[in-house]
Structure formats: C-alpha cells, structure tokens
C-alpha cells in the first residue's frame, strides 16, 4: 500500500495538482492521507475539496477549515488569513461547508495517528519544540504520528530525555525502524514557510522493508497562476506575495 501524505493544501489547486502528478511519477499511490487545512489563504477552495474527494482518502480538519465553517472564530486569525476565511465561507456551497465541518480532528491509518496540530491540541497547537513533541509522544498510541499546521517539513525522533527535531531532507528521508517512534510533518502543499516555495509532501510505501519506507519530495508548480487567481478574487496581495518567498 502506498499513501501520499499531504497537509495544508490551502485552496492552492496548482500546487495540489502538481503534487499529485509528481507522486504519480514516483510510482503512484493508493490513498491520500490529508492532515488538514484544505482551504484558506488561496483562491480555489471548491476545486481543492472536489479534487481531494475524487481520490481515495483519509482526511482530518485544520484550523482554517474550522474558521471557514464557523467552528473556530475567524477573529483569532491575522487580517489576511481572516479575510481569506470569510471569502471562502462566502464562495463555498452548503454541501462543501458541511463536508469540511464533518472532518474528524484525529484519526488513524495503519500505524499512523493523524492530527493537524498535535495530539495535545489537534486543531491549534504548533508542534515546533521538544516540549510539544513530548506532549504528543505521551499521548501517541501508534508508532508514528503525522501532523501539519506549522507548514515546516519536520521529523521528531523520540531519543533519550528530549525528542530531537530535524527539517526533512529530500536526499535523506526519515527511516522507519522498529521501536523508533516518530512525529512527521510533510510540510505544506499550498503555502510552504521554510523558505522554499515548492510544494512539499511525503510518500509512504508500506511494502518496502519491515515497517515500510518514506520518500520526501518538493515539487514546482505554476505559482503565477495561483497568484493571478488570488488577485482576481480580491484577496489580500500579501497572500500572493508570500507564496513566492515560501514564507
């Protein structure tokens, strides 16, 4: 079984399509594991919902999904993110909003537990320091945890007293080894923030080795098309500009 692991698509259709095409070229996948924030920030929410739902998938909710449905107060967001959340709520159909509202906050597939933020606070916590990693390892019932939300591609390894976090490296993906628990963040498809504008994803192959293997990939997409759609929708200019910077 091969799973495409993606997070934070954020209504960026060009980045999502490029990711699917790249994964297909890497040998394909049987299922998409999606870690939340399907919408927000960019201008193609309905098309991204439809594309994910057209594929076999396991999906959970993120904070932007909840802000669009009203499950989270959009006033908790900064101005540009709030403007995009309110715009998205206007353009989506009732059925699309219901789909987002019914996404679970936490789920599990094989030996992977999935939450957008963390297992301590599935919707809102940014898992970016050892204490947050400890809090999630403490609650983790499977060997591996998958998170998104920070838009940083990261692996946290449980070692000794303090978990160790590293940015993912395309040439040296994390190894899945017996007894080694990991928290993995595939980075963001639709709005990377690690200084690299390319869409970011993981590909899991359960049949390679005893615990399976991971591949980490970055993929270019038609960023000018995404930016043109943001401007045409009247969304804040900063949302278009930040995509080029990967911030």
- Chain positions contacting Zn ion, by CB under 5 A: 8, 37
| 205 alpha-carbon distance from chain centroid | 18
Provide CB contacts within 8 A for 35, sequence distance 6+: 5, 6, 7, 8, 60, 62, 114, 115, 116, 146, 147, 148, 149, 186
Provide CB contacts within 8 A for 115, sequence distance 6+: 35, 36, 60, 105, 106, 122, 136, 145, 146, 147
Residue 99 is encoded by which pair of tokens? 């789909």
Rounded CA-CA distance 15/216 in Å is 16
> Which lies closer to Zn ion via its Cβ, residue 143 or residue 200?
200
Least distance (Å) from Zn ion to the CB of residue 64? 6
> Which lies closer to Zn ion via its Cβ, residue 13 or residue 176?
13
Rounded CA-CA distance 219/43 in Å is 20
> Which lies closer to Zn ion via its Cβ, residue 3 or residue 35?
35
Going by the DSSP 8-state scheme, the letter that residue 218 receives in this structure is: E
Neighbours of 158 (CB within 10 A): 18
Which of 173, 172, 175 has its CA nearest to residue 144?
A: 175
Least distance (Å) from Zn ion to the CB of residue 165? 18
> Which lies closer to Zn ion via its Cβ, residue 30 or residue 245?
245
Least distance (Å) from Zn ion to the CB of residue 118? 14
Least distance (Å) from Zn ion to the CB of residue 95? 23
Least distance (Å) from Zn ion to the CB of residue 193? 9
> Which lies closer to Zn ion via its Cβ, residue 18 or residue 176?
18
Least distance (Å) from Zn ion to the CB of residue 52? 15
> Which lies closer to Zn ion via its Cβ, residue 123 or residue 176?
123
Q: Identify each DSSP E strand in the chain by its residue range.
A: 2-6, 31-34, 57-59, 106-109, 112-115, 144-146, 153-157, 164-167, 182-186, 199-205, 213-219
């Amino acid at each position: 079984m091969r799973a495409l692991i993606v997070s934070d698509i954020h209504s960026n259709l060009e980045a999502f399509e490029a990711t699917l095409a790249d994964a297909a070229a890497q040998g394909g996948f049987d299922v998409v594991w999606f870690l939340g924030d399907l919408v927000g920030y960019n201008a193609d929410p309905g098309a991204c919902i439809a594309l994910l739902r057209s594929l076999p998938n396991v999906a959970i909710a993120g904070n932007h999904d909840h802000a669009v449905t009203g499950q989270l107060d959009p006033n908790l967001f900064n101005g540009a993110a709030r403007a995009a959340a309110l715009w998205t709520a206007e353009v989506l159909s009732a059925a699309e909003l219901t789909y987002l509202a019914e996404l679970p906050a936490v789920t599990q597939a094989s030996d992977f537990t999935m939450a957008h933020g963390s297992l301590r606070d599935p919707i809102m916590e940014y898992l970016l320091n050892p204490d947050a990693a400890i809090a999630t390892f403490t609650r983790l019932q499977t060997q591996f945890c998958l998170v998104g939300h920070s838009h940083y591609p990261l692996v946290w390894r449980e070692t000794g007293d303090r978990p160790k976090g590293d940015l993912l490296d395309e040439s040296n993906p994390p190894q899945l080894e017996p007894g080694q628990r990991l928290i993995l963040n595939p980075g963001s498809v639709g709005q990377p923030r690690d200084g690299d504008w390319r869409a970011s994803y993981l590909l899991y192959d359960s049949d390679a080795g005893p615990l399976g293997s991971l591949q980490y990939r970055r993929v270019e997409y038609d960023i000018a098309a995404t930016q043109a759609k943001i401007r045409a929708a009247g969304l804040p200019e900063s949302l278009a500009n930040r995509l080029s910077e990967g911030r």
